[in-house]
Amino acid sequence: MPYIGARIKRIEDPKFITGSARYVDDIAYPGTLYMAILRSAVPHARLLRVDYEDALKIPGVIGVITGLNINVENRPRNFPMAKDEILYVGQPIAAVVAEDRYKAYDALDYIQVDYEPLPAVVNPEEAVKDDVKAVEGISNIGYRWTYRAGNPEEELGKSDVVIEAKLEIGRVYPAAMEPRGLLSVYQEGRLTVYASTQAPHYMRKFLLDAFKSYVSDIRVVQADTGGAFGSKMFPYPEDYIVTYASIIYRRPVKWVATRREDLLSTYHSRAQIHRVKAGFTRNGEWRALIDELIIDLGVATHGYYLADITSTLITGPYKLRNVLVEVYGVKTNKTPLDQYRGAGRPEAAFVYERIMDIAADELGMDP
């Protein structure tokens, strides 16, 4: 058994510690074009006009893409770019494609955007009331589910001590060392896509669904990836925009996020509010839990499953038989939510351990 207890070198380490790894931005193709993305600076507005004529006059600018009209799954309003309604700060409005990365970013300053501000929904508890819409004409309640075991109402009523608390878990930005990026290479009706991703097969499926009428096949290559932690699992709007650009211009197109736009547009995580009632006996036995869970989904609903994971793990290691969790997944005018580092489990652990600490304090017992 030569491996038990032995120091084993990882076979993937030498390229990283010698600086010979190849991340998306290290991959070069002749004739590559570079993309820069104009993003919304307002959380909610009616988009009236995007004027990019002056941007096209800059030498080296190949074109500008706006209102990309392909139906994609689970993105805000099912489009990768704002078309008629701006829904969050950082949402793509226009994309400049140029022969030089710096010219592409310079050209963003020459794009004029006219919009009419709309009320923004930023408080998830207010979003539940559904009075002001995060997306015009659509309910803020993007997901609703109930989890139940035993008889929590009866057991709560019989408990010697009932504690109530509001527990908030703020939004986080995953902040991988390498920002997201993509290089899409068009070759004779096929695409090769190099991506900073955790899931090349997922990306291939989503991109093929969107572009099967444009190309015969798509190969996705997972480049060396400088961190992800769940945040690079599913495709993003920029992935569709870059891929589309390489198809229409028949050239390789590369986009790599700046740190600022990565912070704005990479899916955030956590963002839960729990209003809990927990019943205990005088000797510290946990008998019942009733929880109203509000998860702030941002402007798209695909992150609702994180609340499901939290709900099914909300009892943790404790012998708790009587549980009710009412889940509200609400839309707000914020960056969409998705998984990061534990995907719902850390949120559950925070809730049940805070309950145990509060109960211990109330009962005068050591936690």
pLDDT tens digits along 230-285: 999 988 999 999 999 999 999 999 999 999 999 999 999 999 999 999 999 999 99
Q: Is residue 1 part of a domain?
A: no
**Strand locations in 109-261, DSSP E?**
112-117, 141-149, 161-172, 181-187, 190-195, 217-222, 253-256
Please write the tens of the pLDDT for every residue from 49-85. Answer: 999 999 999 999 999 999 987 877 656 666 899 999 9
User: 188 with 243, same domain?
Assistant: yes
Q: Is residue 208 part of a domain?
A: yes
CA distance 65 to 184: 16
pLDDT in the model for residue 2: 82
User: 112 with 208, same domain?
Assistant: yes
Q: What is the mean pLDDT of residues 125-144?
A: 96
Q: What is the mean pLDDT of residues 214-226?
A: 95
pLDDT-derived band at 301, boundaries 50, 70, 90? confident
Q: Inform me whether the pLDDT recorded for 175 exceeds 60.
A: yes
Q: What is the mean pLDDT of residues 103-110?
A: 98
pLDDT-derived band at 191, boundaries 50, 70, 90? very high
Q: Is residue 231 part of a domain?
A: yes
Orientation angle between helical segments 305-312 and 345-363, nearest 10 degrees: 40
CA distances from 244 to 45, 91, 249 (A): 26, 17, 9
**Contacts (Cβ under 8 Å, ≥6 apart) of 193:** 182, 183, 184, 185, 203, 204, 207, 218, 219, 220, 221, 239, 243
CA distance 265 to 44: 15
Q: Tokens at residue 68, please? A: 């990309």
Under a CB-based contact definition with an 8 Å cutoff, are residues 191 and 304 in contact? no
Picking from 149, 167, 219, the residue whose alpha carbon sits closest to that of residue 188 is: 219
Which residue has 């794009």 as its token pair?
111
The one-letter amino acid at 254: K
Percentage of the chain lying above the pLDDT 70 cut: 98
Please write the tens of the pLDDT for every residue from 120-129. Answer: 999 999 999 9
pLDDT in the model for residue 3: 85
pLDDT in the model for residue 145: 98
Residue 286 sits in which domain range? 124-174+267-363
User: 77 with 181, same domain?
Assistant: yes
For the chain, the maximum distance between any two Cα atoms, rounded to a whole number of angstroms, is 77
User: 169 with 179, same domain?
Assistant: no
pLDDT in the model for residue 1: 73
pLDDT in the model for residue 74: 57
User: 213 with 286, same domain?
Assistant: no
Under a CB-based contact definition with an 8 Å cutoff, are residues 338 and 233 in contact? yes
User: 297 with 179, same domain?
Assistant: no
CATH code of the domain covering residue 290? 3.30.365.10
Coil, strand or helix: which one is 187? strand
pLDDT in the model for residue 70: 83
Residue-averaged pLDDT of the chain: 95
pLDDT in the model for residue 8: 87
Among 247, 265, 283, residue at a domain's last position:
265
CA distance 362 to 358: 6
Rg over alpha carbons for the chain, rounded to the nearest Å, is 24
pLDDT in the model for residue 96: 98
User: 143 with 40, same domain?
Assistant: no
CATH code of the domain covering residue 238? 3.90.1170.50
Q: Inform me whether the pLDDT recorded for 220 exceeds 80.
A: yes
User: 231 with 255, same domain?
Assistant: yes
Q: Is residue 224 part of a domain?
A: yes
Q: What is the mean pLDDT of residues 86-115?
A: 97
The Cβ of residue 60 has, within 10 Å, a number of other Cβ atoms equal to 14
Q: Inform me whether the pLDDT recorded for 95 exceeds 70.
A: yes
User: 110 with 202, same domain?
Assistant: yes
Number of domains in the chain: 2
Among 204, 235, 265, residue at a domain's last position:
265
Under a CB-based contact definition with an 8 Å cutoff, are residues 348 and 310 in contact? yes
**Strand locations in 126-284, DSSP E?**
141-149, 161-172, 181-187, 190-195, 217-222, 253-256, 269-280
CA distances from 234 to 19, 52, 205 (A): 28, 30, 10
Q: Is residue 32 part of a domain?
A: yes
Q: Is residue 5 part of a domain?
A: no
Q: Is residue 6 part of a domain?
A: no
Under a CB-based contact definition with an 8 Å cutoff, are residues 339 and 230 in contact? yes
User: 196 with 317, same domain?
Assistant: no
The Cβ of residue 288 has, within 10 Å, a number of other Cβ atoms equal to 24
pLDDT in the model for residue 72: 77
User: 205 with 167, same domain?
Assistant: no
pLDDT in the model for residue 328: 98
User: 219 with 272, same domain?
Assistant: no
* Residue 27: exposure state from Cβ atoms within 10 A (0-12, 13-18, ≥19): middle
Among 246, 265, 284, residue at a domain's last position:
265
Q: Is residue 7 part of a domain?
A: no
Please write the tens of the pLDDT for every residue from 192-204. Answer: 999 999 999 999 9
- Order of strands across the sheet with 253-256? 61-66, 92-98, 33-39, 253-256, 181-187, 190-195, 217-222
3-state helix, strand, coil in the chain (%, to 5): 25, 30, 45
